[in-house]
Amino acid sequence: MKRKYLQVRWHGRGGQGAVTAAMILSEAAFEEGYRGVTAAPFFGAERRGAPVIATNRFSWRPIRTYSLVVEPDMVVVLDETLLETVDVTAGLAPDGLVLINSRLSPEHFPISERFAVATTDATRCAKEAGLIIAGTVLSNTAILGGFARATSLVSLESLDKALANHFQGEALEKNRKGARLAFERTTLAGECTLQCA
């Protein structure tokens, strides 16, 4: 179904990089040709491990709405344990998509009965790409590859350009590799029919 603009809500934990991922996605959308792009964070308890939300909107035309997304078309979950404590599907459109960072198949999650669900083991992809800092695996940029595959709304080429705005040299190559691996390994149950009018 075509929409005036597409809305994405990110669910992660403090320190996982949901806010950075939302920012990079907005830049990738701009590279793709969308002329209205926004990224907005929301912080509750500002501490490592606390649930964090970030949101995106993108459209072929300029956007004048800057509030947080409460009725998303897509939800990205960086930590699957959040599914036990947070209603990540709150406000999600009936034809919406949920992308989960998980090694499990989409059918494993009960929400797959109501929504299209995609899974990608972004943590493993990030680890294989060497995206480890102080012992922590950073999967936020890897899952962007899963987003590109599951939605077809942004390409890997646009994502590569957006990543280059944030990283250089070896760090850039590691982030690109993580995103490519996640792109290749994403599994989708159902069909993502979301389009921007």
Distance from CA of residue 36 to its chain's centroid?
A: 18
Q: What is the pTM of this model?
A: 0.94
pLDDT over 60 (residue 45)? no
Q: Where residue 87 falls among pLDDT bands split at 50, 70, 90?
A: very high
What confidence score (pLDDT) does residue 48 get?
66
For 13, counting Cβ atoms within 10 Å of its Cβ (0-12 exposed, 13-18 middle, 19+ buried), the class is: middle
Dump pLDDT digits (tens) for 92-132: 999 999 999 999 999 999 999 899 999 999 999 999 999 99
Residue 108 tokens, joined:
């494993």
Beta bridge partners of 59: 36
Rounded Cα distance, 113 and 190, in Å: 9
Residues for the chain: how many in total?
197
Q: Which structural domain range is residue 35 located in? A: 2-196
Q: Which tokens is 194 given?
A: 């979301």
The pLDDT confidence band at residue 82, using thresholds 50, 70 and 90, is very high
Q: Tell me what the mean pLDDT of segment 183-195 comes to.
A: 89
Cα dihedral across residues 159, 41, 105, 174: positive or negative: positive
At 134, which CATH number? 3.40.920.10
Residue 197: the pLDDT is 78
Supply 47's token pair. Answer: 């501490």
Query: In angstroms, rounded to a whole number, what is the distance separating the alpha carbons of residues 162 and 43?
Result: 24
Specify the number of domains making up the chain.
1
pLDDT in tens, 135-153: 899 999 999 999 999 999 9
